[in-house]
Structure 1
Amino acid sequence: MAKWFIGTCVFAILLVTGTYLDWGIFPGIFKQLASTCFIMAVWSAGARENRYGRLILAGLCFSWCGDAFLIKGGDTFFLLGLGSFLFAHVLYCSAFILHGVSWKWSITSLLVIIPTVIAIMSDVFSHVSDDMKIPVGIYTIVITAMVMLAVGTQGVRSNRFIVVGAVMFYFSDVSVARSQFLDTGFPYYVWGLPLYYMGQLLLALSVWRNNEPD
């Protein structure tokens, strides 16, 4: 399992470096290699042994597809990527519910999550075109639910890999949204991509910590 974690980190570093230095097609290659490594990591962590692991594995596979779509530019590929990650988050939500959540913890967490989402995403939504507002809005709701449920798992059994991984994934999506819709010239991927790959690896680690067979 360790070699796949190391592989993800190495290819993620090459991805960020290659994107910043404009290495042509190589960042796209590094991106899919890094994403392939996190799938292999969760597989080697025992994902096939229980339903929780299989749901996380499926979510990571949809994430792999989303990564591939986002290599291309334009609204069509962005929507395909958005749809892939939407399914990934739905699968993660299902996995967290299967793991067990404290609804008290989940609902209470919204007191922090909702103001944070509004503060971070309000300027993004003001730059989203009308035909993209609904898909972006739906995606925001689903990923908010994913984080809420991840927090809820902490009230049942302690597996901090879940909540930390989910929060990292959320903020990596913020970087994608700001890069897509805000023309600031700032390279959001410099912090967004490391958060994304670390978040996915932590979700893979949560399978290792939750690998009791069904």
Structure 2
Amino acid sequence: MSAAWLWIGLGGFSLLGLLAAEVRRRPLARAASKVACSLGFILLALSQGLEGRFAQWVFAGLVLSALGDVFLIFPSGRAFLAGLVAFLLAHLAYVGAFAAEGSPGPWAFALVLGVGLGVVRWLWPHLEGWRVPVLAYAAVISVMLLFALAAGRPEARLGALLFYLSDLFVARERFVRSEVLNPLLGLPLYYAAQYLLALSVG
């Protein structure tokens, strides 16, 4: 457990540096802190052991998420699309993990569908040429959340929910309104999500 706290500490310390870099608009410090924070959740998962299908699928999702984090360091549209694909694959890996834990009920389906349609309606006027990839991503992350809600692991359920919420701030930053509030709220949600998912493999 001491190793786990070491990597959680790395994540918390790096997150503080990342938020400070966002406020001060220091791209090099932002990149370094982001890589360190993402490395932390990978090392945390490794410290828990990766025995069984669930752990291995979650670890694949964490690695793909870290790759997406690296892509999103760069401001270009091509890098954003690469990040979107990496995170889409990460969510598919998480679905592979959660699907073995249980089947979602109709109430969960109705809830996730309603929220997803509301998010798409909010973003739709702002998407322009991004409608197809964003719709695909929204569908996959919604399926991920749906199966997570049926999983018997509370860290996985909460992690998936926080991941979903954090992506709303990524979408707002990219498509609706760019302001420092988006990363200040979205990044803590995102990294809390990934560290919870990493803990769920133990």
TM-score, normalised to structure 2's length?
0.94
1:80 lines up with 2:78 in the alignment:
no
Deviation at 1:23, TM superposition (A): 2.2
- The residue aligned with 1:25 is 28
- The residue aligned with 1:134 is 132
Aligned length: 199
Structure 2, unmatched stretches of 5+, are none
- The residue aligned with 1:115 is 114
Deviation at 1:186, TM superposition (A): 5.2
- The residue aligned with 1:162 is 156
Alignment partners' CA distance in 1, 2:178 and 2:36:
29
Deviation at 1:187, TM superposition (A): 2.3
Per-residue Cα deviation, 1:64-116 (whole angstroms, up to 9, x for no partner): 11000000012111100000000000000000112x21332xx3212222222
Q: Aligned with 1:207: secondary structure?
A: coil
> 2:35, 2:69 within 8 Å by CA — same for their partners in 1?
yes
RMSD of the TM alignment (CA)? 1.3
Alignment partners' CA distance in 2, 1:20 and 1:109:
37
Q: Aligned with 2:98: secondary structure?
A: helix
- The residue aligned with 1:150 is 148
1:196 lines up with 2:190 in the alignment:
yes
Matches within 5 A, 1:49-64: 49-64=51-66
Alignment partners' CA distance in 2, 1:140 and 1:184:
20
Bigger mean CA offset, 185-194 vs 53-62: 185-194
Letter in 2 for 1:32: V
Deviation at 1:119, TM superposition (A): 2.6
TM-score, normalised to structure 1's length?
0.89
Deviation at 1:124, TM superposition (A): 1.5
- The residue aligned with 1:211 is none
Q: Which runs of 4+ in 1 moved over 6 A?
A: none
Q: Aligned with 2:177: secondary structure?
A: coil
Alignment partners' CA distance in 2, 1:97 and 1:182:
33
Alignment partners' CA distance in 2, 1:39 and 1:120:
29
- The residue aligned with 2:48 is 45
Deviation at 1:188, TM superposition (A): 0.5
Q: Aligned with 2:181: secondary structure?
A: coil
Per-residue Cα deviation, 1:147-192 (whole angstroms, up to 9, x for no partner): 0000111xxx3x2111100000001111101100013535211110
